[in-house]
Structure 1
């Protein structure tokens, strides 16, 4: 020991023998470890946390990019997922969509819904009659370059015509889905992460053909759910965030979350559309729904993304699914949006 350090050593030694406790500041080498960052993998699955998304301006003439930015400003958080809707031969990603994902200050990932069979049928797509349409999309997807989500015909339950030869049977949907994914893969498309998105309605879940919709784990990257709850007691689907996840077939069986997490354990779950509604003009506080979201997500680790659908009037014309229909509702939603569980970096 060098003599220059001897006084400090003796002082410390004296403190020990005197029965005092010395509190030493941690050095850089012994500092507390930093919290692990949540980052997405090649299928856009976060290593921790939950992806936060939004779709705004539905059933209005407002450009969707502008509507989302307004929604983001109101909620206080940028949407990591930007949900858009297309059909048939519409060319997407659009310039506006690409611009939204090229914003360095607000990085976003596209979540595209495509009704590929528009003007045709599921059976015809499965037979190859829309391969030109698929190939044109494949070229655009590869040119775009970035990873993005693709939902093929969300909520197919509502489109099923359970009649042999209709072209719209549940088995036709599954065949359409498989054919499209196989053709995209053959075209060398590697940046599309596909999502099978259900309605999760107990009416449809109890149908004999419901299970026939699923294309197979080989073709599905994520399992999605579009589901909503009412905040008006006694009105259709009144309940909490947990209720929109747990609806069960009318004749009994697993609720949606348990079905997906049990039968398809390797697949992350996305709540691809969700929200709380009241009838237009009957403003009711939505806080109790928003306040329960994070606690439910922590109970359900298979959920890796949630995407809020925001509109003042839905396609039925009588439901307000906006976050700001009351001041209390907006305050609760802003608190939800600020939760660190949604802090995920796109890898």
Structure 2
């Protein structure tokens, strides 16, 4: 064989082998495409390989059973909530039978997001000092018995509860210490099915506080970084679209919340653990502009891996309607949002 012919043969075989390797391993972009083709599924920390987890919390500030309220909300929205958001405090035993039943429905797979104010009746500092270890251990035993993976948010929106006074036991640093102690003890007790979320408010007022940075417990004990944020559809305070609830920042050149999360805690998946559009109770202002902006923003912000809508006809202050069906146009827009294939994620 001539040298030139031999060289061409070697180059052809090399290219062929490279092609096989690329088909097997591929570039990161190819791998992502392959994952999408195979279907979006959740991994070990419930992070989807592609797409965004869709969640809901319904019946807020009412006496309605939360499981039934969520089913009603799902029917209205046209999609099962992959994440079922619930709230507990102190020694309340959870997951409850009703919550577990919601995650055992083979036709409508769901995963729990449990909010727990663990320091209820005491202080963050007391929890960090081990004074509520019996409470933690009882929960760890229940979590292990449940067996399935689920999300846990410890004292969501802690900014509202900070008492910035030395010795209060409720300083920002006490929250971080409480969080660290609880997660480390749960891990030591073998509750490895608990996937934790630190759920902050992303509010300009709080982000401007000197103590705000002290709230974060540390990347080693945080699985997901979460945000609870809402937007008004009536001009005034927090009027805007979906992007505006992600980008709020303190004055003076500070980073917006999403940029803070993705730079200071790069690699952490982001969960919008509560979101919604609101107007004054009794009005029927169209919320379509907010709902129609969601998917475009999710595509621009790939760190967001889950969004959980909080639905209520009136909030804790009694004057804001955060429901999806406060007008026919709003509901139609929300149903279009819910039907988007970006939310087609299979729980693994």
Same fold (TM over 0.5): yes
Provide the aligned C-alpha RMSD in A: 1.2
What's 1:187 paired with?
189
C-alpha distance in 2 between matches for 1:219 and 1:138: 16
**Equivalences for 1:1-347 in 2 at 5 Å?**
35-233=37-235, 235-347=236-348
| Alpha-carbon offset, residue 252 of structure 1 | 2.7
Which structure features the higher share of helix residues?
A: 2
Partners of 1:51 and 1:306 within 8 A in 2: yes
Structure 2 Cα separation of the partners of residues 156 and 251 of structure 1: 23
Answer yes or no: is the 8 Å Cα contact 1:111–1:148 preserved in 2: yes
- The one-character-per-residue Cα deviations of 1:256-310 (angstroms, maximum 9, x if unpaired) are 0000011111200000000000000122000000000000000000000000000
Q: Report the Cα offset of residue 34 of structure 1.
A: 8.7
Q: In structure 2, what is the Cα distance between the partners aligned to 1:113 and 1:71?
A: 20
Query: Which stretch has the larger CA shift, 107-116 or 258-267?
Result: 258-267
Could you tell me the TM-score, scaled by structure 2's length?
0.89
- Where structure 1 has 5 or more consecutive residues not aligned to the other structure, the ranges are 1-31
Distance 2:244 2:274 in 1: 14
- Pair 1:69–1:34, CA change in 2 (3 A): closer
Aligned 8 A contact 1:58 1:311 in 2: yes
What's the secondary structure of 1:53's corresponding residue? strand
CA drift of 1:340 comes to: 0.2
Q: Give the SS at the match of 1:218.
A: helix
Cα 1:33/1:70, change in 2 over 3 Å: closer
1:302-336 deviations in whole A, cap 9, x for unaligned? 00000000000000100000000000000000000
**Structure 1 pair 231–34 and aligned structure 2 pair: CA distance change class (3 A):** closer
From the CA coordinates, give the structure whose radius of gyration is larger: 1
- Displacement of 1:35 after TM fit? 2.4
**TM-score (ref. length: structure 1):** 0.90
Give 1:236 shift: 1.5
Deviations 1:97-127 (A, max 9, x none): 0000000000000000000000010000000
Shift of 1:251: 3.0
CA distance in 1 between partners of 2:326 and 2:337 (Å): 16
1:332/1:163 CA distance change after superposition, 3 Å:
same
Q: Which moved more, 1:34-43 or 1:54-63?
A: 34-43
The answer as to whether partners of 1:203 and 1:250 remain within 8 angstroms in 2 is no
CA shift at 1:191, angstroms? 0.1
Residues 287 and 333, structure 1, Cα contact 8 Å, conserved in 2: yes
TM-superposition CA deviations, 1:160-194 (whole Å, max 9, x none) = 00000000000000000000001001101110000
Contact 1:146 1:191 in 2 (8 A): yes
> What stretches of structure 1 move > 4 A for 4+ residues in a row?
none
Q: Is 2:35–2:50's contact at 8 Å kept on the other side of the alignment?
A: no
Instruction: Give the unaligned 5+ runs of structure 2.
Output: 1-33
For 1:33 and 1:302, locate their aligned partners in 2 and report how far apart those are by CA, in whole Å: 17
Query: How big is the shift at 1:33?
Result: 11
SS state at 2:38 partner: coil
